[in-house]
Amino acid sequence: MKLIRFGEAGKEKTGVLINDRRYDTSAFGGDYDEKFFETDGLNKLAAFIKSNDLPEVGDDVRLGCPLGRPSKIVCIGLNYVDHARETNATPPSEPVIFIKSTTAIVGPNDNIVIPKNSIKTDWEVELAVVIGKKASYVDEGDAMDYVAGYVLHNDVSEREFQLERSGTWDKGKGCDTFAPIGPFMATPDEISDPHKLRLWLKLNGQIMQDGTTANFIFNIPHLISYTSQFMTLLPGDIISTGTPAGVGLGMKPNIYLKPGDVVELGIDGLGSATQKLVAYAKD
């Protein structure tokens, strides 16, 4: 099953994608949020779809993030050896964890706003894992039982804020619009092996990142188990699993995003997204 949310920002309705056609499931009730996942929402929704004629949604309607705002987005830094090397970092012996603000979430094709005073806004295509049930001190052997699905995520980053302003990475990761997610969430049955997925990103039509999740340093079961040792993961939470080589920070000379740039990205089985960069403008 492929979950979507569509409509005006902040007023999205729920839907599904079936054979590349969009359908409205808002009559099912509720959002694709913590309550939905913790109350067996996926199975109940599947039954609802089978027994109801769903209204079709036009392709011209905006897609939002396919999930209602989760309690947190947990990100994993430096989870590909090639990315660690391009940024002159030592591949970590344990996963690097940081939190990305949920106020950064936008739809898959929404604009990315370059923050006020930013000079080093960068891109990162990532596979993100959606947690399906409450997870605390999870054994690695059981970890995949906690996966509700997978989504495409651009972990947009401001490198000066992240690396040159002291403190934690979080300040360069959580700016408004810095978490475009989607176009849809695919349930595990849609993805034969999440550790064999190609992920790619283009900047103004030029390929910048072209990697595979086969090159993870830490695989998904390890990331779920490890993260759950330090915090409780709630249904609907996201773990974003890191990015391969090809980010602007790793270029010689560095390349950073500017107004008018267009970023396209995608992952096998999880669709693609297109985001335009715009300058910050005070409301």
What is the third-level CATH fold of 68-279? Fumarylacetoacetate hydrolase; domain 2 (3.90.850)
Answer yes or no: are the C-beta atoms of 147 and 132 closer than 8 Å.
yes
- For 6, 21, 112, the CA distances from 60, given in Å and listed in that order, are 10, 12, 20
Instruction: Please give the sequence-ordered ranges of beta strands (E in DSSP) within the chain, or none if there are none.
Output: 2-6, 13-18, 21-24, 56-57, 63-64, 73-77, 96-100, 105-106, 112-114, 121-122, 125-131, 147-154, 157-158, 179-180, 185-186, 198-203, 206-212, 238-240, 262-267, 271-279
- For 18, 38, 62, 186, the CA distances from 148, given in Å and listed in that order, are 18, 10, 24, 8
Instruction: State which residues of the chain have pLDDT below 70.
Output: 283
Answer yes or no: are the C-beta atoms of 128 and 150 closer than 8 Å.
yes
pTM listed for this prediction: 0.97
The pLDDT value recorded for residue 90 is: 86
The pLDDT value recorded for residue 126 is: 98
Q: Phi and psi at residue 213, in whole multiples of 5°?
A: -70, -10
The pLDDT value recorded for residue 166 is: 87
The pLDDT value recorded for residue 82 is: 84
The pLDDT value recorded for residue 65 is: 98
Residues of the chain with CATH 3.90.850.10: 68-279
Quote the CA–CA distance of 8 and 24 in Å, as a whole number: 14
pLDDT tens, position by position, 260-276: 999 999 999 999 999 99
pLDDT tens, position by position, 71-88: 999 999 999 988 888 888
Answer yes or no: are the C-beta atoms of 197 and 255 closer than 8 Å.
no
List the structure tokens of 87. 């940024």
Token pair 């490198």 in the structure block, residue: 159
- Give the other-Cβ count within 10 Å of 134's Cβ: 16
Q: Count how many residues are written for the chain.
A: 283
